[in-house]
Amino acid sequence: MRAPASLRGRLALWLGLALVALWLATALLTAGLMRRELDALFDSALQESAERLLPLAVNDVLGRGPADENDEDDPRILGVIAPHDEFLTYVLRDPAGRVLLQSHAVDPAGFPPWDGPGFRSTATLRLYNIAALRDTVRLTVAEPLAHRACIAREALWMLLLPLLVVVPLAFAAIWLALRAGLAPLQRWRERLAARGARDLSPVSAGDLPSELAPIAATLDDVLCRLSAAFEAERSFAANAAHELRTLLAGAIARAQRLQAETADPAARMRAAAMEAALKRLLRVSERLMQLARAEGARLRRDSAADLCPVVRILVEEQGRDAGDERIRLRLPEAAVLSDLDPDALAIILRNLIDNALRHGDPAKPVDVTLTSEGILRVSNDGLSIPPETLARLATRFTRAGSSAEGSGLGLAIVATIAERIGSRLHLTSPRPGATSGLTAEMMLPCASDCEVEKRDNRPSRHSVSSSAS
């Protein structure tokens, strides 16, 4: 038998089985003690019956006069009476073993020879012998052992039959008692299950039993340390990205100055190559920082806000870099509420748009769409991607064979964030309804029942730009 998965079920099962086992052991022990007491009681009744019967039998036999050994109808032999059940039988014999008097339907041959007064037992009978008239008249009274065993079994059944009623009631009582006793644990579990992955605040232990309170305290400590680790990682990623960007920007500026000041064509070419390498290093470092943040930082907030202003700001910034004609934006009229962190949204959108601009047809626009259901879709025209390449395109350092420069991390970062927020990045090539191009689509977490944050709390263009980059 497989144990129940729940603690309540296991406790109810084992407590119920223990109760049944205890009841059975008690019933068997009581039956054993009762059997001993019944044997003593029956022996006493057997002895008392023999002592009361002996004087009556002697008077009956002696009052009939001397016996005739040749008379088969000797009056000292009890005549046949109406059939009836006899739990006690008796035989009155003389020293020679001749039956003087017997009870109805008794077989004297089943009585053992006289071996003195007292109790005796055979395989089927419990006997009591008693003599009178100087051992000239001997009475043996017998009781079937099956009669005693039948009474003992009936007594045992009387002890066991209540189990049919008591056991179901006991299981129900145990279940209700455990349900009431474990109710604080159930409420604590529900509070813990109702929290999202982004909520790392301590869980209220409430009225948990003292045995379980240390578990809740340990969990709260783990959540606090985890929250501190996420914040530290996020701070480190932001600071490292800022410092590294500053150093690389300075190096790029020096390379550009070297190109402007030197008259040597070879030196100018080396400075241009150095500038290109530094810019590529800057892009790769930014992508690596984004990937680190996507894998370890907190990507969802405690409250929901409208995603449309954030998407509009990001698309405008990307459009200025790529040209206003390259990106076309479609937003719903209603607000799209989500608890997704604006920095995470900026990372997603920048990487998807950058990937579309780098690997799409330069003469065709990139379409960015956010639906009212929270679906973010970025499409670009260009060569179709084979299915085998498309299947591994979101893995790290994988490119679709394009000649355009890239780190091979953009789609991997978006896929990582999508997995962290409970979504998935879907890549389709060619685009739906077309014969070429690529569409990247993912569902953003929506919270339609939340209120839009106040206008002054919405992220500004400067904050989104600086935190995402």
d(CA 418, CA 403): 27
CA distances 49 to 53, 98, 141, 215, 353, Å, are: 6, 22, 8, 72, 111
Confidence band, pLDDT 50/70/90 cuts, at residue 77: very low
pLDDT for the residue 135: 86
Confidence band, pLDDT 50/70/90 cuts, at residue 44: very high
Interhelix angle 342-359/265-296, rounded to 10 degrees, is: 140
pLDDT for the residue 197: 60
pLDDT for the residue 58: 84
Higher pLDDT, 459 or 1: 1
What is the layout of strands, in order, in the sheet containing 366-370? 327-330, 366-370, 375-380, 438-443, 426-428
pLDDT for the residue 458: 42
Mean pLDDT of the chain: 78
pLDDT for the residue 215: 83
pLDDT for the residue 130: 93
Instruction: Measure the CA angle with vertex 201, ends 200 and 207; round to 5°.
Output: 125
| pLDDT tens, residue by residue, 218-272 | 888 888 888 788 777 767 766 777 777 788 888 888 888 888 888 888 888 888 8
CA distances 391 to 136, 379, 381, 386, Å, are: 114, 17, 19, 9
d(CA 252, CA 146): 110
SS3 category, 50: helix
DSSP 107-169: -GGGSPPP--SEEEE-SSEEEEEEEETTTTEEEEEEEEHHHHHHHHHHHHHHHHTTHHHHHHH
Residue 194 has pLDDT above 80, yes or no: no
